[in-house]
Amino acid sequence: MAWSTREIAEIAGTTLRAVRHYHEVGLLEEPERRANGYKQYGVTHLIRVLRIKRLTDLGFSLSQIAAMGDLDDQPEEALRALDTELAATIERLRQARIELGLILRQAATTDLPSEFAPAAAEAQLSDVDRSFIVVMTRILGPQGLRAYSELLRSRPTYPLASEFAALPADADEQTRQDLAERTAPYVRALHAEHPGLRNAHADAPGGAHFAAQTIGKAIEDLYNPAQLDVLRRLQPLLHAAPDPPHPARAEGVDGHGVDSLHVAMCVYASPGTRV
């Protein structure tokens, strides 16, 4: 029995192009040709093509198949290595399904990692807040992400949020200093409850300095000059501020849920952040 290239491809469930490529990379020997110059494949070729296809379906690359040599021998080491890769792939897909489930159930944004998505959905973050946190998730390491995720989930109340948000860019010196002094106890309370915030940059993949610079640039784009000045004034004030009450227990004020301002204030209290 002899088949043409197209016929052997159809029988093996692959493509004409694939069979030709197997020849090009040396995986499939060239068959004899008929008098008219057309190739004629036999059973040996068909079995070889079927085995190659089987291995590629399992996840082996053609270069890996070539390294195996004789396909009649079961390459146990290669198969075990592939099994490990497949197990890792299955785990990634399982995690992807978990994250997709969170997105579907909680209308969570697709640009935040799973540990932030539920808290972000509950906090009803604005687009600006979400964008800022997205930047954080791309540059911080596991330790920093965990600290800010815990902050987001705790949903503290910032009594001066509306005042800070309404601060005009040309606010006078006294107004800026006064707001910074009243904000410092609140930030110190946040750090008391979430001590991991103080070293949030420590395990950043790009280094603590790079993380601080990048976050500083994001903050610079987010707030006006007067607001930035208030944040700058926080650093020296925090060292002198007395221990305040828990921020989430502030009473008698119109509070505001956790947002990018909370993150910004905590970042400014972390070493190295500048704008």
Digit-coded pLDDT (tens) for 136-161: 878 888 888 888 878 777 766 666 77
Q: What is the pLDDT of residue 246?
A: 47
Q: What is the pLDDT of residues 244-261, one digit of tens each?
A: 444 444 333 334 444 445
Q: What is the pLDDT of residue 210?
A: 87
Q: Is the pLDDT of residue 11 over 80?
A: yes
Q: What is the pLDDT of residue 155?
A: 63
Greater confidence (272 vs 65) lies with 65
Instruction: Report the predicted TM-score, pTM, of the whole model to 2 decimal places.
Output: 0.51
Determine the 3-state secondary structure of 216 from DSSP.
helix
* Tokens at 219, concatenated: 């903050």
Out of 3.40.1010.10, 1.10.1660.10, 1.10.10.60, 3.30.390.50, which CATH number does the structure's domain 5-73 have? 1.10.1660.10
> What average pLDDT does the chain have?
76
